[in-house]
Amino acid sequence: MSRPIRIVDVFTDKPLAGNQLAVVLDGKDLSAKTMQRIAQEMNFSETTFVLPPEDSKHAAKVRIFTPAAELPFAGHPTIGTAWVLADEGMVSGDATDFTLEENVGPVKVRSVKEHGRVLFWMTHPPLTFGPVFPHKEVASAIGVEESAIVHDVPAQVASTGAPFLFVALRDAGAVDSAVSDSPRVRKLLHGDRGHGVFLFAAAGEGRLYSRMFAVDIPEDPATGSASGPLGAFAVKYGLVERAPQVSIVSEQGAKMGRQSFVHIELTYGESKDAPERIEVGGGVMPVLSGTLADFD
């Protein structure tokens, strides 16, 4: 039995940019061990496997694997898989809103046509803030001078299901000067305190310039699961002006030659510190369609 597989680029409107994703459209009867081995074979930051939903009202169940481990939730795999399901006609009717089941729980997605192209959006789970790290330790881990870090903004973990350490740097040049070193990142985040270090700088009104150094890969070109918390973090510490509706575009992956644009939408109430709603969206470009041999 062969299984259809799609490869797409996520958070881009140009092929061969953004973040690569492999989507196995029929994951039924595949063991977790085999899924992990397929993800290792693909060697993208993530590979997803589509399964029948546990709740019939939902579109599908999705399992997400890096080359090293399964994830409970991730952004570009959610956006990319949603696009593939719609493109393959696997979403009932002409639905523009549907729900995917992930290990973190149900994740709502929607599609919107803007300026002749379709953007897919996902709603993040609730936001939490975690521990603060000394600037000196963080600077050493990412290869910059401590003075490159914005001194009055803490280096802090935030999460909507996948924790990342957010570090505000003084400008885009400082972001590009950082050096990815997975062993140093792993040492900094020991004890599962985060999946990676997300460094960024303000780059104009409603714009951020970003990079992400992960524990298990040197650098990620677009990180949707981190971009939602990124927006909330930037607003919390005054790097983006708070308003009832906040729109941000985060440019990521440019330094590594895979420019990505992640759109972030935040909704704030009058009194709450954290946003009431976090959405992340972007474009998806098809790259390859094929079949995968059955390995179980």
Q: pLDDT category, 93, cuts 50, 70, 90?
A: low
pLDDT of residue 138: 98
* Mean pLDDT over the full length of the chain: 94
Q: pLDDT category, 270, cuts 50, 70, 90?
A: confident
- The token duo for 222 is 């677009």
Alpha-carbon gap, residue 32 to 18, rounded angstroms? 27
pLDDT of residue 134: 98
Q: pLDDT category, 53, cuts 50, 70, 90?
A: very high
- Environment class of 37 (CB within 10 Å of its CB; exposed 0-12, middle 13-18, buried 19+): middle
Instruction: Return the biggest CA–CA distance within the chain.
Output: 57
Give the model confidence (pLDDT) of 200-227 as tens digits: 999 999 999 999 999 888 999 999 999 9
Average pLDDT over residues 181-188: 94
SS3 56: coil
Q: pLDDT category, 296, cuts 50, 70, 90?
A: low
Alpha helices in 106-240, H assignment, sequence order: 135-142, 172-177, 182-188, 224-236
Q: pLDDT category, 145, cuts 50, 70, 90?
A: very high
Q: What percent of the chain has pLDDT over 70?
A: 98
121-148 b/e with 16+ CB inside 10 Å = b? bbbbbebebeeebebeebbbbbebeeeb
pLDDT of residue 113: 85
> Do the Cβ atoms of 144 and 135 come closer than 8 Å?
no
pTM listed for this prediction: 0.91
For residue 142, give the nearest of 192, 193, 177, 191 by alpha carbon.
177
The answer on pLDDT for 116 being more than 80 is no
SS3 140: helix
Give the model confidence (pLDDT) of 2-44 as tens digits: 899 999 999 999 989 999 999 999 999 999 999 999 999 999 9
The answer on pLDDT for 263 being more than 90 is yes
What does the chain come to in residues?
296
Q: Would you name the residues annotated as active-site residues?
A: 46
Alpha-carbon gap, residue 147 to 136, rounded angstroms? 9
- The token duo for 47 is 């590979």
pLDDT of residue 95: 65
Alpha-carbon gap, residue 43 to 177, rounded angstroms? 26
List beta partners, residue 214.
196
> Do the Cβ atoms of 18 and 10 come closer than 8 Å?
yes
The answer on pLDDT for 85 being more than 70 is yes
Angle between helices 224-236 and 75-87 (to 10 degrees): 130
For 103, half-sphere exposure in the C-beta direction (CA atoms, 13 angstrom radius) is 13
Domains of the chain: 3-123+283-292 (3.10.310.10), 128-281 (3.10.310.10)
pLDDT of residue 215: 87
